[in-house]
């Protein structure tokens, strides 16, 4: 029988670096990544021991609001998770769940609310990033949100804004979307449908087995309205560890479950009574036998996909995209002179195709961080007169 000190809430979720085989010499140092999302929170993985957030801007209010970055609002969870997946240093996991670009700096741009992110507000966000590119040294832009409708990049304002960002030297990385199971409407929407951006689909690697066992995620895929094949590349889009929003109902329940997992049988009822109201199902179960309570705890851990007290499993191309953004930051640390076009070319040339999966669903294949950095180091010197 394990002692209380040896029983902890833990998961077998492997860090992204292990699953993709990253080069740990490069951590995104000296590279700034901008994120567009509905909201953000200053999670410890981003701000401790050093605050790496350069600025937080809300395009809807048009005012910098650094004080609000510390408020765990409901709209903050998605953006917080995407930023931490790419750039978190694992502060709350003892360094285990850190992003590949865990020493990069961040610019966080709020472009929506808990209800939605609008097509035109995404455009405003990209425009703001372009206007402030030089001021904050932005090299990468991660967009884990999509517009409201399919549109041709020839006239759509959101697509044109994304194309303009690439022309200004920003590597734009977009989530493909999660409509791959729809037999009729499965194409990515702007800005992921724009030609110059790097559109990221997903795959399920089952924590990194042999490549013949990897299966595609239900990512959106082309052809687009303009006949473009998207995505260009794929990355893990399921079983990704991401932080739980502090102060949320999920955070309180995760903390309670972690305490119950570590407790001895005779302590279970007392602990539940001390936390009455946190979880109604546990409240109702406090009079059951210990083995029944533990069965419920295990069930709730699975249903809430808890990885630990501070992290949970997430899925979607929203989280595959920041993984690729973090690889881009590693590449730019290794070779700051790379153009967005060179970055994209390297990523697709070093990707690894899944066998027996149609190219429409995976593009050039699975991102290979170590190979991409190695190719970047060998890449011909870029024109020093280019402003990025």
Q: Give the tens place of pLDDT for each residue, 338-350.
A: 999 999 999 999 9
Same domain assignment for residues 70 and 218: yes
Classify residue 4: in a domain, yes or no. Answer: no
CATH number at residue 90: 3.40.50.200
Q: List the structure tokens of 254.
A: 């995760």
Classify residue 2: in a domain, yes or no. Answer: no
362 half-sphere exposure, CB direction, 13 A CA radius: 21
Phi-psi region of 235 (alpha: psi -120 to 50; beta: other; left: phi over 0): beta
Same domain assignment for residues 51 and 104: yes
**Digit-coded pLDDT (tens) for 88-138:** 999 999 999 999 999 999 999 999 987 789 999 999 999 999 999 999 999
Same domain assignment for residues 256 and 208: no
From 309, 329, 355, the end of a domain falls on 309
Same domain assignment for residues 288 and 161: no
Classify residue 39: in a domain, yes or no. Answer: yes
Q: List the structure tokens of 83.
A: 């930023």
pLDDT score of 386: 61
Q: What domain range includes position 120?
A: 16-243+312-378
**CA distance readout (Å), 287 to 84, 163, 266, 284:** 39, 61, 12, 7
From 283, 309, 335, the end of a domain falls on 309
Same domain assignment for residues 271 and 159: no
At 90, give phi and psi (nearest 5°): 75, 25
Share of the chain above pLDDT 70, in %: 92
Classify residue 10: in a domain, yes or no. Answer: no
For the residues 56-74, what does the mean pLDDT come to?
A: 76
Question: Based on the structure, what is the number of domains in the chain?
Answer: 2
Same domain assignment for residues 212 and 283: no
DSSP secondary structure of 107-154? EEEE-B-SS-B-HHHHHHHHHHHHHTHHHHTEEEEEE----SS---TT
Same domain assignment for residues 218 and 266: no
Same domain assignment for residues 126 and 268: no
Same domain assignment for residues 258 and 199: no
**Digit-coded pLDDT (tens) for 200-209:** 999 999 876 6
Same domain assignment for residues 221 and 152: yes
**Digit-coded pLDDT (tens) for 5-61:** 446 666 778 999 999 999 999 999 999 999 999 999 999 999 999 999 999 999 988
pLDDT score of 115: 75
Examine the pLDDT at 4 and tell me if it is beyond 50. no
Distance CA 84, CA 240 (A): 11
From 309, 328, 357, the end of a domain falls on 309
Classify residue 388: in a domain, yes or no. Answer: no
**Digit-coded pLDDT (tens) for 307-316:** 999 999 999 9
- 157-182: burial string, b at 16+ Cβ within 10 Å, e else: bbbbbbbbbbebbbbbbbbbbbbbee
Same domain assignment for residues 122 and 82: yes
Same domain assignment for residues 286 and 323: no
Which residue, 216, 226, 249, 247, is CA-closest to 320?
216
pTM: 0.94
Q: Cis peptide leading into 191, omega within 30 of 0?
A: yes
Classify residue 138: in a domain, yes or no. Answer: yes
Classify residue 6: in a domain, yes or no. Answer: no
Classify residue 95: in a domain, yes or no. Answer: yes
DSSP secondary structure of 268-334? HHHHHHHTTTS-HHHHHHTTS-HHHHHHHHHHHHHHTTBSSSSEEEE-SHHHHHHHHHHHHHHHHHH
Which helix or strand (DSSP H or E) is residue 164 part of? helix 157-167
256 half-sphere exposure, CB direction, 13 A CA radius: 29
- Dihedral, 5, 11, 12, 14 alpha carbons, nearest 10: -110
Residue 216 CB: number of other CB atoms within 10 A?
18
Burial of 80 (0-12, 13-18, 19+ CB in 10 A): buried
Residue 71 CB: number of other CB atoms within 10 A?
12
Q: List the structure tokens of 231.
A: 């995505």
């Amino acid at each position: 029988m394990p002692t209380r000190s040896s029983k902890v809430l833990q998961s077998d979720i492997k860090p992204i670096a292990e699953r993709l085989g990253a080069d740990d010499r490069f951590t995104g140092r000296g590279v700034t990544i901008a994120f567009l999302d509905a909201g953000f929170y200053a999670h410890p993985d981003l701000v401790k021991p050093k605050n790496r957030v350069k600025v937080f801007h809300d395009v809807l209010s048009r005012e910098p609001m650094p004080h609000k970055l510390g408020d765990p609002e409901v709209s903050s969870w998605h953006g917080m998770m995407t930023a931490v997946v790419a750039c978190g240093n694992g502060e709350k996991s003892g360094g285990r769940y850190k992003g590949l670009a865990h020493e990069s700096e961040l610019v966080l741009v709020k472009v929506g609310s808990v209800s939605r992110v609008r097509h035109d507000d995404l455009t405003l966000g990209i425009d703001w990033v372009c206007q402030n590119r030089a001021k904050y040294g932005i090299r990468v832009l991660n967009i884990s949100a999509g517009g409201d409708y399919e549109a041709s990049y020839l006239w759509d304002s959101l697509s044109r804004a994304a194309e303009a960002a690439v022309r200004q030297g920003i590597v734009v990385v977009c989530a493909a979307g999660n409509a791959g199971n729809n037999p009729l409407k499965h194409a990515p929407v702007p800005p992921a449908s724009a030609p110059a951006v790097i559109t990221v689909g997903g795959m399920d690697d089952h924590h990194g087995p042999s490549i013949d066992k990897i299966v595609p995620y239900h990512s959106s895929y082309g052809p687009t309205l303009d006949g473009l094949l998207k995505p260009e590349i794929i990355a893990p889009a399921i079983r990704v560890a991401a932080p739980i929003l502090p102060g949320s109902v999920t955070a309180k329940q995760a903390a309670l479950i972690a305490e119950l997992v570590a407790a001895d049988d005779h302590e279970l009822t007392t602990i539940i009574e001390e936390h009455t109201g946190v979880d109604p199902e546990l409240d109702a179960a406090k009079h059951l036998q210990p083995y029944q309570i533990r069965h419920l705890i295990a069930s709730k851990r699975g249903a809430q996909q808890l990885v630990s007290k501070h992290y949970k499993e997430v899925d979607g191309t929203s989280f595959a995209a920041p993984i690729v953004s973090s690889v881009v930051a590693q590449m730019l640390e290794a070779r700051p002179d790379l153009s967005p076009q060179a970055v994209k070319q390297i990523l697709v040339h070093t990707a690894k195709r899944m066998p027996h999966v149609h190219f429409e669903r995976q593009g050039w294949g699975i991102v290979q961080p170590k190979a991409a950095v190695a190719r970047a180091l060998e890449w011909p010197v870029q024109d020093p007169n280019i402003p990025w």
